[in-house]
Amino acid sequence: RNFPFMWDRTTTECTNNFAGHAASSENETKALIAAMDQYKAAIRMYLAVHTYGEMILWPWGYDFLHAPNAEDLQRLGEQARDALVAAGGPEYEVGNSADVLYTATGATDDYAYSLGVPYSYTIELTGGGSQGFDLPASDLPRVTSQTFELLKVFGRHAGTLSLTP
């Protein structure tokens, strides 16, 4: 939530969604911005992988606005979800970030989309453990193999997209 697209400050550092003192203030954010800016013409798809919630989310997340290619984003997200279900995984909810979850500013998927990356998603994986964010190690093989099926759908689609000249 520290990316310089529709960034907004949060009130306190002691929250799970602290966005930094300023947009792009964190070293990790700066590194990703540099890489994304340098290679944006070659980036066909961007996937931010989080835990937890069992969702596939697409832009925009900063407000209740849908990306211009919302139908394509939804369709591909549903195909990925269906592959996950076919592999024995849960049925993830697919949709616009703000509609499905809540508004969030400064997100990486919104930033990537703002650069012209046509397919940009946040994937909220299966949770577990006492707080949801700490999936037990015994669940990792199952969740990993199921998630791989979802990721293959995105990868195959990215391979069909042409690069920006």
Catalytically active residues are 124
Report yes or no: 92 and 55 within 8 Å, Cβ to Cβ. Answer: yes
Radius of gyration of the chain (CA): 16
Q: What CA–CA distance (Å, rounded) separates 20 from 18?
A: 6
Task: Indicate the burial class of 159 (C-beta count within 10 angstroms; 0-12, 13-18, 19 or more).
Answer: exposed
Distances in Å between the alpha carbon of 107 and those of 90, 146, 157?
25, 25, 23
